[in-house]
Amino acid sequence: MNLKKIGKSNVEVTEIAFGAWAVGGWMWGGTDYKLSVRAIQRAIDLGMTTIDTAPAYGFGLSEKIVGEAIRGKKDKVQILTKYGLRWNTDKGRFFFNSRSNEGKPARMHKYASKASVLIECEESLKRLGIDCIDLYQIHWPDPTTSIEETMEAIDLLIQQGKIKASGVCNYNVNEMKTAAAIVPLASNQVPYSMVKREIEKDVVPYCIRNHIGIIAYSPLQRGVLTGKITHGYKFGEGDNREDLPYFKGENLYKINHFLQKIKTIAEDREITLPQLVINWTMKQPGITCVLVGARSPEQVEENTRAAGFELTDEEINVINNELDKLKLDI
């Protein structure tokens, strides 16, 4: 799988990266630890060597799983993790109530003070079992801490050799401008899919002009673009997707109708719908890397095949024409 530099940094990432949110179990109805480790190891074997995780994914569990999976393979992988979304403090801005994997109440807070960032980095390094994080990203903007203070911590971590490059997640253009004035900004990780394209208005043009990489998360919109979720689908306990508008009523009907329209392209190429959707996403302007989650080696194998072909201009036009007709109530 091709490696691409992220922004102006010296960090390279694969076109498709292993998104480790689901393996942490949080909001996904639990996890199978050993199966998750095998999934990550299979990704590495197939050349998907970039792994994106975060402390909040399973309250540290995702990072621990990644750490075990990369043991003995650290020179082959690129580790992306995050900071600034904490469940073990009442400081910062309350985000939402949650429950840990053990079912205990947990209150998530957006908090990225300088001292907190430095502590979080040490905790992540320990869980991951590494000495340096390739790309360290703020998980969400923290309205209670100035961006300047947060980025001062990141600058210090770069000087200390504990991280290689600085990234942000879910930042708007003004927030990116402020962050980039303190420390070079390698990337912005943002939600982007066929049915969620708001970043095309301003974030994408700004990133292209300023050579900032875009890491797209949820390209399958948490599974709704796989075509496997239809009306009456039974979600597991702890899976919050059924409460999201993409999975309800007329929206779900329209999305599945759209997928049927483009399914012929996948059938002609002898690929799956998810592979088609992922490939379209990774080829969009400004996109450096697409995060795709997996919970088993078999899912990993399917995901990696999405990088194995090139859509023609005609196929892209067919997809885009159908997308133009898709009007969702979101």
Catalytic positions are 57
3-state DSSP call for residue 305?
helix
Return the number of other C-beta atoms located less than 10 Å from residue 71's C-beta: 12
* Two tokens, residue 249: 């009523």
* Two tokens, residue 70: 């990369």
Identity of residue 127: R
Q: Express the helix, strand and coil content of the chain in percent, nearest 5 each.
A: 45, 20, 35
213 has which bridge partners? 187
C-alpha distances out from residue 27 to 22, 80, 117, Å: 8, 20, 24
- Do 215 and 167 touch, CB atoms closer than 8 A? yes
With a CB cutoff of 8 Å and minimum separation 6, the contacts of 321 are: none
| Distance (Å, whole) CA 127 – CA 117 | 15
| Distance (Å, whole) CA 260 – CA 254 | 10
